[in-house]
Amino acid sequence: MKSPKPCARSISAVPRLITVRVGVLSGGGDCPGLNAVIRALVRKAERVHGDEVVGFLDAWDGVLTRRTVALNVEAMRGTLPRGGTVLGTRRGSPFDHDNGVEQVRSTMSDMGLDGLIVIGGNGSLSVAHLLHAEHGIPVVGIPKTIDNDIEGTDLTFGFTTAVQIATDAIDRLHTTAESHDRVMVVEVMGRHAGWIATHAGIAGGATVVLIPEHPFDIDQVCQRLVRRHSRGRFASIVVVAEGAVPVEGSIEMADPEVDRFGHQRLGGIGNLVAAEIGRRTGFETRPVLLGHVQRGGTPTAFDRVLSTRFGVAAIDAVHDGAWGQMVALHGDDIVTVDLATAAGRSRPVDMSLFHDVAEIFFA
Ligand code: F6P
C-alpha cells in the first residue's frame, strides 16, 4: 500500500494541467453530502482553475449512454443543504456490459474529457481502481457512504448524518418504550460494518448493540434484558446493525438474498431479533427498521464541511495529475491515497470503541 500524500498543492511529479474538462459521476447508494461535494468541486474548478465540469447522469449509465448535464456555479446554487444527488445514482458498472470499458474510453475522448471524478462507496471505488489500474483510464475517487466502511479514510461523508438520524430516532423510541414498558429493537444500516450501530448506540444510550464484527448470542442478549428488568428498568433499546449475525446455531437464518450485482441484500434481522427476544423473555418487544430514512435529507454541518473539503481536494488532485488516487481524511488532514487501498475491502468498526466504550453501557 502506498503511503498517503498530503493535499498541499505540491504533490506532483506529473506536470500540472492548466485547465481541464472533467466528468463527474456519483455511483452506488445516495448519501447526504453528495451535492455539497459536487458544488465544491465545481466552484473551485470554475472560479479558481477555469475548468469545465460535465456531470454524468445516473452513474455509469450516463457515461455509457452519454447523458450529461453541464455543471457550473449557477447550476449548483442552493444545493449545499440538499440530500440526494442532482446527478442521480445507480448501482452497476461498465464491467457489467460487453465493451463497457471501451464505451467509457470513447465517451471520454469524444467529449474531450481529461479525466473522471468518481464519487462512490466500496463498489464504485473498486470499479474506478480497475479502470485506472488495468485500463489506464484517468480517474480520481471521492469516498462516499453512510456506512463509513471505506479503507484508507478515517471518515466518509454522510456517516455523521446517518448517525444523527438514528440517534434522533432512538431518543424518540426511549419515551415510547418507557411508556409501555417495552423492548424496542432498532435496526440500522451499515452493510457488514457496525459503525452506524456503534456510534448511534453510544449516542442514544442503547441497552445493547449488535454488530457484524462480533456475532451475538441471543441468550446473552436476553439475559442482559432480564437482568435490567429485574432491577426495575423495564424499557430497553436494542440497536442491531443490518449485517449483524448470530453465533452459529443459535438462531435460524434464511439464506441471504442477493441482488443482480451479487451483493447480499441486507435488512430484516431486526424483525428476527425482536421476535426471539419476545419469545424467550416474554417482554413485549417491537422492531423498528430505520432503513432508507438514514440516507435521506439534509447533511449535518460536519458532513457539509467534509464534503466541501473532499470536493475541493478532488479537483486539485485532478490538476496534480493524481490519477488512480482518492481523497481521504487522515486525522484533520485531507490527503490522497491509492484507490487500491479501498478497492474490494470493507473497513470494520474500531473494536476498541465497541468493547472499551459502547459495552461499558450495556445492561
Ligand atoms: O451502502 C449504503 C446502504 O444504505 C447500506 O447501508 C444498505 O445496506 C444499502 O445501501 C441499501 O441499498 P439499496 O438502497 O440498494 O437498498
- Ligand 1 within 6 A of 295 CB? yes
Ligand 1 and 147: CB distance under 6 A: yes
Q: Tens digit of pLDDT for each residue in 171-206? A: 999 999 999 999 999 999 999 999 999 999 999 999
| Position 343 pLDDT exceeds 70 | yes
- Look at the block and give the residue holding cell 466528468: 23
Identify the pLDDT of residue 253. Answer: 81
258 band by pLDDT with thresholds 50, 70 and 90: confident
Q: What whole-number distance in Å separates Cα of residue 201 and Cα of residue 166? A: 9
Binding site membership of 145 for ligand 1 (Cβ less than 6 Å): yes
- Check 30, 51, 61, 147 and give the catalytic one: 147
What grid cell was written down for 272? 428476527
Query: Could you tell me whether strands 5-6 and 257-258 are parallel, antiparallel, or unpaired per DSSP bridges?
Result: unpaired
Q: What is the pLDDT of residue 281?
A: 97
First to last CA, the chain: 41
Rounded to whole angstroms, the Cα distance separating 252 from 226 reads: 22
What Cα–Cα distance (Å) separates residue 322 from each residue in 23, 65, 319? 15, 27, 8
One DSSP character per residue, 81-94 reads: T--S-TT---S--G
Residue 26 half-sphere exposure toward CB, CA atoms < 13 A: 20
What gap in Å lies between CA 139 and CA 131, rounded to an integer? 8
- Using a pLDDT cut of 90, give the percent of the chain over it: 88
pLDDT digits (tens, 9 = 90+) for 296-310: 999 999 999 999 999
Q: What confidence tens digit (pLDDT) does each residue in 115-135 have?
A: 999 999 999 999 999 999 999
> What average pLDDT does range 92-102 have in this prediction?
96
DSSP three-state, residue 246: strand
Whole-angstrom distance, CA of residue 25 vs CA of residue 2: 25
Q: Which position has the higher pLDDT, 162 or 1?
A: 162
Question: Which among 148, 157, 191, 349 is the best mutation to test ligand 1's pocket, defined by most ligand atoms within 8 Å of the CB?
Answer: 191
Lowest-pLDDT choice from 8-12, 217-221, 252-256 = 8-12
Q: Please state the φ and ψ torsions of residue 120, each to the nearest 5 degrees.
A: -165, 175
Nearest CA-CA partner of 96 in 245, 259, 298, 231? 259
Check pLDDT > 60 for residue 9: no
**Does the pLDDT of residue 4 top 70, yes or no?**
no
Q: Mean pLDDT check: name the lowest of 57-61, 246-250, 335-339.
A: 246-250
Measured between alpha carbons, how far is 356 from 113 in angstroms, rounded to an integer? 49
Cα–Cα distance for residue pair 241/252, rounded to 1 Å: 17
pLDDT of residue 7: 54
**Average pLDDT of the chain?**
94
* Residue 69, C-beta contacts closer than 8 angstroms, at least 6 positions apart: 54, 55, 57, 75, 86, 87
The contacts of residue 128 (CB under 8 Å, 6+ apart) are: 116, 118, 120, 139, 141, 326, 339
Residue 14: its pLDDT value, please?
55
Q: Are 294 and 160 in contact (CB under 8 A)?
A: no
Residue recorded with cell 445492561: 363
- Amino acid in position 181: D
Tens digits of per-residue pLDDT, 146-166? 999 999 999 999 999 999 999
Question: Span 217-233, mean pLDDT?
Answer: 94
Confidence check: pLDDT of 215 > 90: yes
Residue 319: burial class (beta carbons within 10 Å; 0-12, 13-18, 19+): buried
What pLDDT, on a 0 to 100 scale, did the predictor assign at position 11? 42
| Residue 193 Cβ contacting ligand 1 at under 6 Å | no
When pLDDT is averaged across residues 75-102 and rounded to a whole number, the result is: 97
* pLDDT of 261: 64
CB 5 within 8 A of CB 325: yes
pLDDT computed for residue 233 by the predictor:
79
Task: Work out which ligand 1 atom sits closest to the CA atom of 243.
Answer: 8
147 is catalytic: yes
Mean pLDDT along residues 254-277: 86
Strand order across the 333-338 sheet: 5-6, 333-338, 325-330, 139-143, 115-120, 21-26, 52-56, 68-71
Total length of the chain: 363
Cα(251)–Cα(269) distance, integer angstroms: 11
Ligand 1, residue 242: give the atom nearest the CA.
8
From CA 279, how far away is CA 56, in angstroms rounded? 51
Section 63-85 average pLDDT: 97
Per DSSP bridges, beta strands 139-143 and 115-120 are: parallel
Could you tell me if the CB of 120 is within 6 A of ligand 1?
A: no
pLDDT, residue 16, reads 65
> For a pLDDT cut of 70, what percent of the chain falls above it?
94
pLDDT band at 264 (very low <50, low <70, confident <90, very high): confident
Task: Return the number of other C-beta atoms located less than 10 Å from residue 50's C-beta.
Answer: 10
Q: Is the pLDDT of residue 25 over 90?
A: yes
Whose alpha carbon is nearest atom 12 of ligand 1? 29
